[in-house]
Amino acid sequence: MNGAHYVRGDFMSDHEGVRRRDVLKGLGVTGAAVGIATTAAPPALTEAQAQAAPHAHTHPPERNGESANIFRYFTPPEAAVIVALVDTLIPKDDVGPGGVEVGVPIFIDRELAGAYGRGARMFLNGPFGEGTPQQGYQLPLPPADLYRVGIADLNAWCARTRDGKTFDQLSTADRTAALKALEAGQAEFRQIPSRTFFGILLQNTMEGYFADPIYGGNRNSAVWAMIGFPGAIGMYADLIEQYRNKQYVAAPKSIQDLS
């Protein structure tokens, strides 16, 4: 059953792009610049061909680690704010890894650069009205636009209330206080409700922290190891009885580990 090496379309298109580029570089093809849109990768080489290429495994891409840290969607000032936000929501501490070190800002960036960010599966027809909380999200903005507007609003609100500073320029204590105000809906944003921005930020931060590492967060499955989740492996028919009320320790396995 371990034969599924193909890469699916749809949401996974970003990762397909990364893998193609890395493979191409491993082959000595250097035309694809690192860190730009996935469409820059030449589309001619199929995944099957790439995997069959003789040097793909013997010459691992040297700059792989660097490309993984280049933002695609966020501008540098936006990226600085996202890194500061994630670092405040999930700091590095004595409990376990921080959101930034396991790649959560890159996860959010990759999500926003793809189908999710464009709201590909959202209903975005008008007219738009302000509903009740029970009616859910009603803004005309798909996630990528919501972040762009939200970061601008956040920085403007910080500047108004905190001596002209953007969020990433605040002290740790001020960042925490600011996020608590957003969470409570007490920060007055100019364009969108601050609580709406906080909601999607928290959701995506948690997704990146706990999702399979193939999406750019939870690097080295470090978050799964922290909580004791064995990851994508899922073979417990012979273990569920044996480990009743016993600790089960296993190094977490990601989809890539099992592929």
Pick out residues in 83-142 that bind other proteins (CB under 8 A): 88-91, 93, 95-96, 116, 119-125, 127, 129, 131-138
Q: Which of residues 180-219 bind other proteins (CB under 8 A)?
A: 183, 202, 205-207, 210-212, 214-215
Q: Does 232 bind other proteins (CB under 8 A)?
A: yes
CB of 31 to other proteins, least distance (A): 29
> Residues 98, 101, 104, CA angle at the centre, nearest 5°?
85
- Collapse the DSSP code of 253 into the 3-class scheme (helix H, G, I; strand E, B; otherwise coil) and give the result: strand
Examine residue 10 and tell whether it contacts other proteins (CB under 8 A): yes
Binder among 179, 189, 194, 222 for other proteins (CB under 8 A) = 179
How many residues at the interface with other proteins, by CB under 8 A?
A: 73
DSSP state of 83: H
Q: Name the burial class of residue 201, with classes exposed (0-12), middle (13-18) and buried (19+) by CB atoms within 10 angstroms of its CB.
A: buried
Q: Give the Å distances, CA to CA, from 227 to 42, 127, 165, 252, 254.
A: 40, 44, 36, 10, 15
- Beta carbon nearer to other proteins, 34 or 221: 221
Considering only 33, 53, 184, 258, the residue that binds other proteins (CB under 8 A) is 258
Identified binder of other proteins from the candidate list 174, 176, 181, 185, rule CB under 8 A: 176
Q: To the nearest whole angstrom, how small is the minimum distance from the Cβ of residue 139 to other proteins?
A: 9
Q: Is 52 in the site for other proteins (CB under 8 A)?
A: no
If the CB atoms of residues 111 and 168 are measured against other proteins, the closer one turns out to be 111
**DSSP result, 177-235:** HHHHHHHTT-S--SSS-HHHHHHHHHHHHHHHHHS-GGGSSSGGGHHHHHHT--BT---
User: Rounded to an integer, what distance in angstroms lies between the CA atom of residue 233 and that of residue 77?
Assistant: 39
The distance of closest approach from Cβ of residue 54 to other proteins in the complex, given in angstroms and rounded to an integer, is 25
